[in-house]
Structure 1
Amino acid sequence: MVQWFMALSPVQQASLATLFTWGMTALGASLVFFFKTIHRKVLDGMLGAAAGVMIAASFWSLLAPAIEMAENAGQTPWLPAVIGFLSGGAFLWGVDKLLPHLHLGFPTSEAEGISTSWRRSTLLCLAVTLHNIPEGLAVGVAFGALAADLPSASLAGAVALALGIGLQNLPEGTAVSVPLRREGVSRGKSFWYGQLSGMVEPVAGVIGALAVIWMQPLLPYALSFAAGAMIYVVVEEVIPESQLARNTDLATVGAMCGFALMMTLDVALG
């Protein structure tokens, strides 16, 4: 199985890796078939862990390789990282202002983005979908970087990133499906909306892989762009949502554990 995966092209590897992360979102959403509610403390701890994984992945799997690649190419090491990082945050800021969505725990009247009459279930799903765009891009860019045959881009590192993103997708699927079930939506529809939020990751993954293969000189910028987009999501959405019910210590411990897990995966495998 390992040899077969290694023989695939980077785009095919990115496709399979992001299908895995989507599958983990669906696995998290499937908990709705067993539970109608989930304790808020459990959810906050899971969201905190997801934030920790995303923060660690942003540096260990994206920013650090971007700086190393720029340095090896004779560029100013920090410049591509800064430009890409801020561009990724600006991109998500723009999407956040335009895409109608609703954060967990907030009433429908506080939906963000362009005003719409869409249902609460759709708005919740779109909020998590917004999280998953940079995650899919990050995995795709990491695998696409393998085509550049650079020392700082390794298959093990890309796999570690996909594993970390997949693990933190579990609570995201649950965070959509279980609250919808609690509000009276059927189990089937709750699961559908929960897994639907992860469907964007394979699309974003393939786009990210193709982009860096076609434009290899932009690779440090692409890696940093994905990092900036993920950090924007973490600071603007995931961390505030994890502390909304004032379970701040639990969410913080979850973030620390998530960070440590992703750091271990990246260093041990990458």
Structure 2
Amino acid sequence: MIEWLSELSPVWQALLAGTGTWLVTAIGAALVFGFVGVSRKLMDAMLGFSGGVMLAASYWSLLAPAIEIAEQTGGIKWLPPAIGFLAGGGVLWAIDKVLPHLHLYLPVDQAEGLPTSWRRSVLLVTAITLHNIPEGLAIGVVFGGAAMGIQGATVEAAIALAVGIGIQNFPEGVAVAMPLRAEGMSRIKSFWFGAASALVEPPAAVLGAAAVFYARPILPYALSFAAGAMVFVVVEELIPESQQKGNADLATVCLMVGFVVMMVLDVSLG
């Protein structure tokens, strides 16, 4: 399969990978057809696991290759990754302050961003969509770097990243669909809202792949930008949400498990 995928253009590779991670989100949302709800303990465990996957991916799949690529260019090897990482976090911080969204389990009056009359369902989807953007970009920039034959960015590493993000997308679909169903929304609408939260990943992946493939010098910045954006999401959203209701130890253990799973994927496949 890797040989077949390697023959495609990086844009097509990114599109397929981004579509695959979206499908996993949709599968998670589809649980709404068989279950009424998910316990808060299980949700906190899944949020912690997702955070661990994203943290590990931020280093092994994004920052480490960015540092290696920057070193190959002969400049200051830490400068492009540092700039890109801070820029990624800064952009997500700015979007977080402007875009109306609502974190899981919070009442509508605690929505963040600019004041809005949007319904709770839309605010929840917006929140998940917000941190699916850097995930899609991350997949795209790694595939774009691999297509250029740059050491430190390989198709295998890109596949490992896509698999890891796909794994942690499953609870994201659950996290949107189940609360909406519990509030009385129909199963079909709850599913579609959950699935829609990751629709941004395929186009974001394509954008990331195209950007670095046609503008090679930005690759270390793009890789570290995605890393910074993902770390911002983990620290600002996933970790706090998973530890609000007395499940801090469970969420922390699951975060560490998720971190190890992604580390193993990247080291063994990448």
Normalising by the smaller structure, the TM-score range is: over 0.9
Question: CA–CA distance in 2 between the matches of 1:264 and 1:190?
Answer: 34
Match of residue 84 from structure 1: 84
Equivalent positions of 1:195-214 (< 5 A) are 195-214=195-214
Shift of 1:123: 0.3
Kindly state the Cα deviation for residue 246 of structure 1 after the two structures are TM-superposed.
Answer: 1.9
Deviation string for 1:205-236 (max 9, x for gaps)? 00000110111011100000000000000000
Residue type of the alignment partner of 1:60: W
Matched with 2:251 is 251
Structure 2: how far apart are the matches of 1:79 and 1:3?
34
CA root-mean-square deviation = 0.7
The answer to whether structure 1 residue 27 and structure 2 residue 23 are counterparts is no
Q: Is the 8 A contact 2:2 2:156 kept in 1?
A: no
Q: What is the distance in 2 between the residues matched to 1:2 and 1:212?
A: 21
Q: TM-score, normalised by structure 2?
A: 0.99
Letter aligned with residue 71 of structure 1? E
User: Partners in 1 of 2:78 and 2:3 — Cα distance?
Assistant: 36
Structure 1 unaligned residues grouped into runs of 5+: none
Q: Give the TM-score normalised by structure 1.
A: 0.99
Give the Å deviation of 1:147. 2.5
Residue of structure 2 in register with 1:262 after alignment: 262
| Aligned residues between the structures | 270
Runs of 4+ residues over 4 Å off in structure 1? none
Deviations 1:231-257 (A, max 9, x none): 000000011111121200110011000
How is 1:87-166 mapped onto 2 (pairs within 5 angstroms)?
87-166=87-166
Mean alpha-carbon deviation: is it higher for 132-141 or for 143-152?
143-152
Instruction: Name the counterpart of 1:18.
Output: 18
Unaligned runs of 5+ in 2: none
1:5 and 1:218 map into 2 onto residues whose CA distance is 24
- 1:146 shift after superposition: 1.4
Contact 2:59 2:227 in 1 (8 A): yes
1:3 paired residue number: 3
More deviation in 4-13 or 51-60? Answer: 4-13
> Residue in 2 aligned with 1:69?
69
Aligned to 1:239: 239
Shift of 1:99: 0.8
Find the counterpart in structure 2 of residue 55 from structure 1: 55
Q: Percent identity?
A: 62
Contact 1:105–1:244 (CA<8 Å) still a contact in 2?
A: no
